Structures are given as C-alpha cells and as structure tokens.
Homo-oligomer: A and B are copies of this chain.
Amino acid sequence: MNCAAPDTGNMEVLAEFGSPEQQERWLRPLLDGEIRSAFCMTEPAVASSDASNIATTITAEGDSYLINGRKWWSSGALSPDCKILIVMGVTGEAADGHGRHSMILVPRDTPGVQVKRGLTVFGYTDGPHGGHAEVDFTDVRVPKENMIAGEGEGFAIAQARLGPGRIHHCMRQIGAAERALDLLCSRAATRTAFGKALADQGVVQDWIAESRVRIEQARLLVLKTAWLMDTVGNKGAHTEIQAIKIVTPAMAEWVIDKAIQVHGGGGVSQAFPLAHMWASARSLRFADGPDEVHKRSLARRELRKPRAQGPRD
C-alpha cells in the first residue's frame, strides 16, 4: 500500500465516494501498491484560493464527459506508475458557485492528457519524480461512469479530502520546527564568534526562547485539535483546524529562519536540511488554502458569537 500523498487522500475519496466498480478498478490496485495516482484541482489561470473559481469544464456529451482545462500542482502525475487522475471541474451552471463542481476519474493514458512539466518549490523539486506537475486536458473523453459520487458533489468531496489532511501538515511542521531548534542549539553551542559561543549571545538566546514558546503553543493547539477531531468530529473541530493551519506553518517558518541564520551559508545550502524544510513551511502558508482565506473564515465565525453589549461610560 502507498502511504504517500496524494495516494492516501485519493484512496480515501474512492473508499468514501467511489462506486463499487470504481473501487474495484482503481482503489484495489492503489491499496496493493500496483499503481499510483494524482489529484488535479488547482489551476494556473484563476485564483484557486477561491475554489469556486476552478474553470476546467466537464461537459456531458452522449455517454461521455469531455474535459478541457489546465491544472497545476498535480502531485503524483509525474510518476511513471501514475495510472489515474482525479480531476475537479465545472459540470453545471448554478449561480452560487458550490453546486457547479464535480470530480471525475481520468486514466492517465486517455488521449488529450498531457503532463507538461514539473514545478519547482523555490529551487527544489519535491519527490523522486520531479514533484508537482502542470497538466493539460484537451478534449479528454471519459465514460459517464467515471464521475465520482455524482455531478455537483465536487465541493463535498474536496472538503472531506482536504480538511483532515491539514492536521497532518501541521504535525509535520511541529516536527520540522523541533528539528530546526535542535539544529540551532547544536550549532550555537559549537560555533564561536567575537570571543564567545553563539549560544552565549543575547540575540541567539532570544531566538531560542521565542522558538521554544512558539513551538509549545502551536503543539498544544494541534493536540487540542486532534482531541476535538477524535471526540466531536471534523465539523466540530472546524475552527481549530483553521487555527492550526494559520499558526503552524508560520511558526515553523519563523523557527527555521532563525536556525538558518545561525548556520549562515550552511543554512541555505544542501549541507543542512533547513533550507528545504523552510521551502515546505513557506508553501504551506498558501497550499490547502492561503492564510488569508482561513483567517477571514475564522474571523467571521468569531463575529457570529453572541456578545454582551459593549460598554460606554
């Protein structure tokens, strides 16, 4: 079984929303590790932070759907073992946005599917096969039974897929921040400048203390969120899931930045894992929804709470 993104999420989609035929045809070989998969949602031509902007068309035509559009950040599509893509697009016309989108299964070898290039994250290609792909879909025709769950279910599936995954990202960022602080302290203890160890210099001590208290706070919030997800479910933990998505990558980015500074040239190079860790943390400030969208949503919920009338003397 594959345990890496995007296969885990795709398997969850198929397990929860797939038809028995879809599960037999794609879920089983994914679980058996025979094939791999890709997830195609974000598009280069629109602000995908607002998922209702997604513009790839999935047009019914007889017994088929015809798919046209361009995706990017399609993780997994560059792997030679990738056999199936899950593609989000527009099937309907409803004015309000959300009911217009659907997800459909597209075999990798369908005519009209063209994987254009891998995308770098800063200068890194993530993963062994060149990372995240840009993929063109030109008059790609698939049978109607490839639709997942039904037309208009795209947003529901996306929420189910992305929401819980966010806590995994945050847990990994806590780990990355701890690793960075560990490297920072080790380095600071062994390097000397201007007559004393970096570890004895006030500014470095300030970074270490700030790093520790920021990590601890983020960790406690992630733990509370996990506990809520276990006890009241993903919906009940909605505010906290957004809160950790806002807090954790920014915290990790800050801590790793300080560790880089203590490592100097080593910090930005391949000599230490810090620069690559930083690039991942930075990307998470917009991946799966930019900070600004999560903050806007969290603020609106805060504003809906009942309140006593503000005082005026």
Interface membership of chain A positions 218-258, coded 1 if the CB is closer than 8 angstroms to chain B and 0 otherwise: 10110010000000000000001001001100000000000
- Given the contacts A185-B303, A194-B50, A299-B209, A265 and B279 also touching, CB distance less than 8 Å: no
Interface membership of chain A positions 253-289, coded 1 if the CB is closer than 8 angstroms to chain B and 0 otherwise: 0000000110011111111110110110011011100
* Chain B proximity of A271: nearest CB distance (Å): 5
Evaluate contact between B221 and A217: CB separation under 8 angstroms.
Answer: yes
- Given the contacts A194-B50, A271-B119, A265 and B73 also touching, CB distance less than 8 Å: yes
> Which B-chain residue is minimally distant from A285 (CB atoms)?
B261
> Which B-chain residue is minimally distant from A276 (CB atoms)?
B123
Among B202, B218, B265, which residue has its beta carbon within 8 angstroms of that of A287? B265
A174 to B276, CA, bound (A): 26
Chain B residue contacts of A199, Cβ below 8 A: 303
Chain B residue contacts of A189, Cβ below 8 A: 303
In the assembled complex, A311 has its CB within 8 A of some CB on chain B:
yes
Evaluate contact between B119 and A209: CB separation under 8 angstroms.
Answer: no
Among B204, B210, B282, B313, which residue has its beta carbon within 8 angstroms of that of A268? B282
Evaluate contact between B203 and A206: CB separation under 8 angstroms.
Answer: yes
Chain B residue contacts of A270, Cβ below 8 A: 119-120, 313
* Chain B proximity of A193: nearest CB distance (Å): 4
In the assembled complex, A110 has its CB within 8 A of some CB on chain B:
no
In the assembled complex, A125 has its CB within 8 A of some CB on chain B:
yes
The majority secondary structure among interface residues of chain A is: helix
Evaluate contact between A205 and B121: CB separation under 8 angstroms.
Answer: no
> Which B-chain residue is minimally distant from A191 (CB atoms)?
B47
Chain B residue contacts of A203, Cβ below 8 A: 202-203, 206, 292
Evaluate contact between B313 and A186: CB separation under 8 angstroms.
Answer: no
Chain B residue contacts of A32, Cβ below 8 A: none
In the assembled complex, A212 has its CB within 8 A of some CB on chain B:
yes
Evaluate contact between A268 and B283: CB separation under 8 angstroms.
Answer: yes
In the assembled complex, A5 has its CB within 8 A of some CB on chain B:
no
Other than the known A42-B265, A120-B269, A185-B302, what 18 A-B pairs have Cβ atoms closer than 8 Å? A42-B264, A44-B271, A47-B264, A49-B264, A50-B192, A53-B193, A203-B203, A209-B294, A209-B299, A210-B246, A212-B298, A213-B246, A217-B220, A261-B291, A265-B283, A265-B286, A272-B310, A272-B313
Q: What are some 8 contacts across the A-B interface (CB < 8 A)? A: A42-B264, A119-B270, A183-B311, A205-B295, A217-B218, A220-B224, A261-B285, A270-B313
Which 6 A-B pairs have CB atoms at the shortest separation, nearest pair first?
A123-B123, A202-B202, A123-B124, A209-B295, A50-B193, A217-B217
